[in-house]
Amino acid sequence: MFPILFKIGPLTIHTYGVLVATGFIIGIALALHLGKKEGIAREKILDIGFYSVISAIVGSRIFFVLTQFEYFIDNPLDILKVWEGGLVFYGGLLLVIPVILVYIKKNGLPMGKTLDLLSPCLALGHAIGRIGCFSAGSCYGRPTDMPWGVTFNNPDSQAIPGIPLHPTQLYESFSELVIFVFLMVFKKHKSFDGQVTWIYLLLYSTVRFTIEFFRGDRIRGFIYGDFSISQGISLMLFLTATAFLLSHHRRKNS
């Protein structure tokens, strides 16, 4: 709705970039708070936060560039314009996970406990970041006649202008906020370390798979027909999380 927050001479501050950065900062701040309660050193959390931010930006941008390869071949400098949008969450997640796993193992941190600490922080940060997508008009939805449809009229917006669209960015932001609250409550009652993380992957993959049906942007990439790459990743994450949770349940009851 408001892609540009303000301008100072030649300097343009994009709302998208500000909100994505805010999501990172709040997520790391929460991780520091939870880490203190879990007995994990502050410097370790800050290290994880730093490596997560870098790998998330790199991974999410690479994923987006690959889906729009022909455009970026002709406009290579635009690859660096991350403040204008074009960060694919799954691309960031797929790089962040191995980076964090390597760091946790290398530094002798408790794997399951550390991941359970980070998962709610990720959900909260992502919820805030999606509001940035809404402000930029990226990740927009299909046309709709529902009363909550949103019309983007700002000429700097990336969304289709002049017609009501599903606010898919807000759907995902609200869903992530609900997941965050659920995880914060659930983590007090988890039966094993790592369970919160698998539950997060299960819930988010379900939400993302569903919301993709309401997306209207075609630049996100598709596997076949209207089945998007993000839906394919969501399906794999859902099946993996389900299989692990069921396997652990069987072992526990055997």
pLDDT single digits (tens) 140-193: 999 999 999 999 999 989 899 999 999 999 999 999 999 999 999 999 999 999
What is the per-residue burial (b if ≥16 Cβ within 10 Å, else e) of 207-246?
bbbebbebbbbeebbeeeeeebbbbbbbbebbeebeebbe
Please give the model's pTM, rounded to 2 decimal places. Answer: 0.91
Residue at 119 is within a domain: yes
> Do the domain assignments include residue 207?
no
How many separate domains does the chain show? 1
Burial zone of 141 (CB within 10 Å; 0-12 exposed, 13-18 middle, 19+ buried): buried
Query: Mean pLDDT throughout 193-207?
Result: 97
Q: How confident is the model at residue 251 (pLDDT cuts 50, 70, 90)?
A: confident
237 is a domain residue: no
Per-residue H/E/C for the chain: CCCEEEEECCEEEEHHHHHHHHHHHHHHHHHHHHHHHHCCCHHHHHHHHHHHHHHHHHHHHHHHHHHCHHHHHHCHHHHHCHHHCCCCHHHHHHHHHHHHHHHHHHCCCCHHHHHHHHHHHHHHHHHHHHHHHHHHCCCCECECCCCCCECECCCCCCCCECCCECCHHHHHHHHHHHHHHHHHHHCCCCCCCCHHHHHHHHHHHHHHHHHHHHECCCCCCEEECCEEHHHHHHHHHHHHHHHHHHHHHHHHHC
Report if residue 104 sits inside a domain. Answer: yes
Q: Which residue has the higher pLDDT, 9 or 114?
A: 114
Tell me, yes or no, whether 225 lies in a domain: no
Q: For residue 183, is it within any domain?
A: yes
- Looking at the domain assignment, is residue 252 inside a domain? no
What digits encode the pLDDT tens for the residues 100-121? 999 999 999 999 999 999 999 9
Give me the domain span that covers residue 62. Answer: 4-189
CA distance 124 to 179: 8
